[in-house]
Amino acid sequence: MARQGEKAGFGELVKTLFWAAVIATGIHSFLFEPFYIPSGSMVPTLLVGDYLVVDKFAYGYSRFSFPFAPDLFSGRIGGHLPKRGDVVVFRPPGQMDEDFIKRIIGLPGDTVQVTNGQLLINGQPVPEADAGTYVDDSSGQPMTGRAYTETLPGGRVHTIFRLPGTNGDFANNTPVYTVPPGDYFMMGDSRDNSEDSRFMDGPVGFVPAENLIGPAEMIFFSIDLRHPFWEVWYWPFEIRWGRMLHGIS
């Protein structure tokens, strides 16, 4: 009897673990997915060590919504169209096995250009206001520059970061790009430290709607790992308590 009870108990454990895995996979595939910020390309909006929640339902589903991106169908099913200014996780066309995160700057049919650091959309300069000095230490070596508040067409307001002495760089003096139908133009908020749609020979280029995974909605955890992981006594001081449950704009 004891042996039968042990078998029954083991069977219930296996069943419980199976359904827990099914539920977790369903949530991960259809509703929300966690995402870790490994680089400073979205400073100051997102910092290295931020953990985000990505809404996978918002834009509907493509094959990239599911684990291993099975080639079961093309295009997107359900959801609504992305909005200009959304911060989005996607698979870049030139690096389909990696997740990137950038901001949607150009919609299908738009023209996008950067001249002397000034962003132009459909030939019109995007308004910006000086927001003061900002120090980016995401790379381990602090870089001091200026933050600017940028207002995109449609009214979306966010903050960008620029380094001094970079206005002559290609990233700040691009050709005029016309976004193809069904594609999007992505840029990082750290304008001098982002591999994005300005570099057409890079992995991003124009991003097809099919490659979008979803908008980043909220920072649920953030930690500044300046010390080795095993130095646990630093953990309480490295957690960025003020960024917890912080919405992304």
Active site residues: 41, 102
* Amino acid at the residue 83: K
**Alpha-carbon distances of 178 from 105, 142, 181, 189, 222, rounded to whole Å:** 12, 35, 9, 20, 37
- CA–CA gap between residue 193 and residue 145 (Å, rounded): 12
- 215/179 Cα distance (integer angstroms): 20
Backbone angles phi and psi of 180, in degrees to 5: -65, 160
What is the C-alpha to C-alpha distance for residues 75 and 60, in angstroms, rounded to an integer? 10
Of residues 201, 220, 202, 204, the one with CA closest to residue 212:
204
Q: Is 80 helix (H, G, I), strand (E, B) or coil?
A: coil
C-alpha 58/C-alpha 19 separation (Å) is 25
Q: Is residue 37 within 8 Å of 52, Cβ to Cβ?
A: yes
**Taking a C-beta distance cutoff of 8 angstroms, is the pair 113, 124 a contact?**
no
